[in-house]
Amino acid sequence: MIVIAGLARSVGRRLAVTNDSRRTGARETFMKFFSVGLVLCVAAAVAAPLAQQKYGVTVVLDKKADLATFKSYSWGNSQPAATKSADDQIVAAIDKELKALGMTKVTSGPGDVQVAYTAVRRTDVDPKAAPTASGGQPQYAVGTLSVILTNPTSKERILELRLDKPIDTDASQAEATLNAAVAELFTRYPTKKK
C-alpha cells in the first residue's frame, strides 16, 4: 500500500510538472506574440506621423496681443544651438529681423517683450521612399527653430514662430542656412508687410 501511494505521488508530480511546463510554454509563446504585436503597433504609431511630417513655418499667436505696440525687446533664456558660433549667428539674425520690424534691443531691464529661441536638429526617415543601397530607408537632417516672444512680467507666450525644415549639414553652409531659416520665420511675422 505504501509503495502504491508513493508511486501515485511520483506520477502525480510528473503530471503536474508536465502540465506546468505546457502552461509555461504556452505562456511564453503568448508573450512572444504579444511582444511582437506590441512592437509593431508602436512602430506603426511612430511611423505614421513621420510619414505625414509637414515642413514650413507655424505661427501661434495670442489673439489678445497687439504686436504693433511692441517697440523694444530684451533677451530671455533660450535653448541654444549646439555650438557657440551657431548660437551667436541665430541671435544676430533674430536681432536683425526684430530691428527691421522697428523694435529696439534693451540691454538692461525688460523690454516690451522678451525674446528667446530654441534650436533642435533631428533625423527624419522617409518610409514611403525606395530603400537605399544598404536596405534602409532614406534619412535626412531636419532643423527646428522656434522664436518665442513672451510678456516679460507674466511670462505668458505672445507669439511663437516655428520652422521645421530639412537642412544642409555642410558646416561651410551653416551661416547661410541659419540666416535663411530666421528670415523665413520672420516672413510670417503677423504685422510684417508682404
Decide if pLDDT at 5 tops 50: no
Q: Answer with the one of 9, 25, 51 that is the final residue of a domain.
A: 51
- Tell me if 192 is assigned to some domain: no
CATH at 121: 3.30.160.670
pLDDT tens readout for residues 82-124: 889 999 999 999 999 999 999 999 988 899 999 999 999 999 9
**Do 88 and 168 have their domain in common?**
yes
Judgement on whether residues 142 and 60 belong to the same structural domain of the protein: yes
One domain, residues 60 and 109: yes
Are 108 and 182 part of one and the same domain?
yes
Of 33-47, 121-135, 172-186, give the lowest mean pLDDT range: 33-47
Average pLDDT, the chain: 80
Specify the long-range contacts of residues 50-56, CB closer than 8 Å, at least 24 apart: 50/124, 50/125, 50/127, 51/126, 51/127, 51/128, 53/124, 53/142, 53/164, 54/164, 55/142, 55/164, 55/165, 55/166, 56/163, 56/164, 56/165
Number of compact structural domains in the chain: 2
Please tell me whether residues 97 and 112 are part of one structural domain: yes
Residues 8 and 89 in one domain: no
Question: Does residue 191 lie in a domain region?
Answer: no
Instruction: Judge whether 193 lies within some domain.
Output: no
**Domain boundaries, position 42:** 1-51
Q: Are residues 13 and 102 in the same domain?
A: no
Residue 148 confidence (pLDDT) above 70: yes
Residues 2 and 88 in one domain: no
For the cut 70, the answer to whether the pLDDT of residue 18 exceeds it is no
Residue 42 has pLDDT above 70, yes or no: no
> Are 171 and 120 members of one domain?
yes
The pLDDT score that the predictor gives to residue 49 is 47
User: What predicted TM-score, i.e. pTM, was given to this entire model?
Assistant: 0.69
The answer to whether position 30 is within a domain reads yes
4-13, 14-23, 76-85 — which one is most confidently predicted on average? 76-85
Residues 59 and 154 in one domain: yes
CA distances from 16 to 21, 68, 133, 138 (A): 8, 81, 54, 54
Same domain, 66 and 158: yes
